[in-house]
Every structure is written in structure tokens, then in C-alpha cells.
Amino acid sequence: MPIVAHPKLPSLSKLKTEDLIIADASSLAKEFHQELRIGLLNLMPDAALQATERQFIRMLGSDENILVHVYPTTVGSLKRGEEFQDYIAKNYNDISTIYASKLDGLIISGANPSKPDMTEEPFWAPLVEVMDWAMENTNSILCSCLATHALLKYYFNIDRELRGQKSWGVFPHTVANSPNPLIAGLDDSFMGLHSHFYDLPLKKIQDTDLEVLAYHSQAGFFLASTTDTKLVLYQGHPEYDAISLLKEYQREITNFLSGLRPDYPPLPENYFSKAAIPVLENFQKKVLLTKEQSNFPEVRLSELVKVEWRHPGKILYKNWLNILVIAKEP
């Protein structure tokens, strides 16, 4: 599963223990007949920037026969600390370099929403500029979560809607009866992970030329696409690490203790194994008694996560990579 990052990303050293080959182009280029060049527009805040790199690059290693060159970039309008400004300056491509490149596909990460109206977000103007460029200059755009909401707003004028309760956990999704190559090899149902406060009206999506490929009645749609796969739109998160929701759960406990949420957070659905429940219940009792979050059992709980979304996620990404390979053929 070979990956070449341009330039090299220091954070990727953590992936070398996962049978993912991180190497330079000269050492691998002669070994592979199929190569792809994919941009990664990372819009996540500083705290999640490097984890997001690793998550998507792990997914791009889903086909051992394809050498993937990854070109990370971001937009300058996002507020960042000095440390990450320096990190990006050293390890990311300027967006003008991306515009001058010949990319097969572009991945656009989610972002941290700060305003009810997405068009008022600091990333909105540069994001839609990148989308317009990618529509004309790549074979496919793959969007994640908020980027999917942004694209549907920009191109289809579909507004996201605030959910009554966050879609949070791992859910069984019904797969469409469709010849779309993105879902080739999937079972009729697969487990997929969600984490979003906003949702998109299914009926409005169905009224476009988009095809909803995977859906859960409670969690919302997981994946939609144009029939030609020019647009690949994830509301779900096949790329998430095993501990991503665990980190979110810990953060929600902190929000409860600081008064940012009124209630102790519910558990993400179908995420923890049964063995984790007594550990979680005991910790909740301790927090409610002491009003402190000390000694959170992260290591123990990380061993009790049901990572049921990873395998179908890799099938989905492998399919996308092969679609891009076919699109390159004369």
C-alpha cells in the first residue's frame, strides 16, 4: 500500500506500523504501472490537522497495486497558531502550486463549523474557488462531512439543517441497488460511522442528479455521488481512526463540566463493545460525584472499541482509486 507525500509529512511516521509504505517517489516509481496524483485540501483546525492527514492517507493506501502521490494543501483564511503556521509553511503545498498541478482527484476534508450560515465561514470563499478549479481540472472530487454540506449548498442550493440530536456512532447502512462502481463489492448492508450536528434533506438530494448510495434512517445519508463519480460526497466518516469518537466523547464530557452542554453526553451508538459499558458507567458516576474529569480511562477504552467501519471504508476508497485509474486511460 504505497504512498508518496509531496512534500514529506512528518506526521506520517505513525503510519509505518500499519503496513503502509511511506517512501520517496524515486524508490517506488519503477515498481508500479498505475500511479495517481491526489490533492488533499485539509480544512481541519490545528488540533486535528495531522490526524486528518493520516486518516485520509491511510485510506488512499487501500489498493496495494496503485502508487498514490499525495499533495496536501489548505487555505490561508483559517486562523492558526504560530506552530501550525510554520508546520504548514514547511510541509504543505501553496494552493497556487495545486492550481498549477495535474491532479487526478481532490479530497476536501471536513472543517470545524463556527457559524449557522456556512457562507459566512472564513473558509467559504477560498473553498468554493478550489471547488470550481477542481470541477474543471480533476476527474473526481471527494468531499467529507462539512465539505459535502458546502458543495451541496454551492452547486445545488441545498441548505443543511440542524438536527434535534447529533448523529453520532456506527450504524448499519442500506446500500442502493445501483451499478455505481463506488459501491462495488459491498454487502447489501455495512457499518458506517457518523459524527455531525447538521443533516441534509434526503428528498432534496434525490431531486438532483445525485444518487444516494448508502443511507440510515436515523443517522442520515452516508454517501452520495453523481453517476459519473465526478462528485463523491460523504456525510459519514469511513476515514476515522479507531479512537476518533472516543476523543470526541471525552471532549463532550469536558464541555459538560465547563457548562457548554447541560447534560452528561450519551454514548456514541454501536461504538463501544459490551465490555466497555461498566468502565464507562463507573467513570460517569465518578465525574458526577467529583465534578472533575481526571484519569479518563482512554487506554482501556481504546481496546474496547468495535472498529466495524474500517473494512467497508477501505472497499469504498479502493473503488474510488480504481475509478480514477480508469479515468486516466486514453
- Given this model, what pLDDT does residue 31 score? 64
- Given this model, what pLDDT does residue 160 score? 95
Query: Mean pLDDT, 10 residues at a time, over the chain (330 residues)?
Result: 78 68 55 85 95 94 90 92 94 95 97 90 96 98 97 97 94 97 97 96 94 96 97 98 96 95 96 97 96 93 97 98 92
- Given this model, what pLDDT does residue 13 score? 74
Whether residues 270 and 316 fall in one domain: no
Whether residues 96 and 228 fall in one domain: yes
Whether residues 174 and 114 fall in one domain: yes
Q: What angle do CA 45, 147, 6 make, to 5 degrees?
A: 65
Whether residues 156 and 276 fall in one domain: no
173 catalytic residue (yes or no): no
Whether residues 231 and 87 fall in one domain: yes
- Given this model, what pLDDT does residue 273 score? 97
Q: What angle do CA 161, 159, 124 make, to 5 degrees?
A: 110
- Given this model, what pLDDT does residue 208 score? 96
What range does the domain containing 215 cover? 2-240+307-328
- Given this model, what pLDDT does residue 11 score? 77
Whether residues 234 and 258 fall in one domain: no
Catalytic residue among 121, 211, 239, 252: 239
Whether residues 294 and 317 fall in one domain: no
- Given this model, what pLDDT does residue 6 score? 84
Catalytic residue among 149, 194, 216, 237: 237
Whether residues 221 and 270 fall in one domain: no
31 catalytic residue (yes or no): no
Query: What CATH code is carried by the domain that includes residue 86?
Result: 3.40.50.880
Q: Radius of gyration (Cα) for the chain, nearest Å?
A: 20
Whether residues 178 and 284 fall in one domain: no
Residue 108, all three cell numbers: 476536501
Whether residues 253 and 277 fall in one domain: yes
Catalytic residue among 69, 145, 149, 173: 145
145 catalytic residue (yes or no): yes
Q: Tell me if the bond preceding 10 is cis, omega within 30° of 0.
A: no
Strand order in the sheet with 66-73: 21-22, 2-5, 66-73, 34-43, 105-111, 140-144, 231-234, 220-226, 210-216, 161-175, 189-199
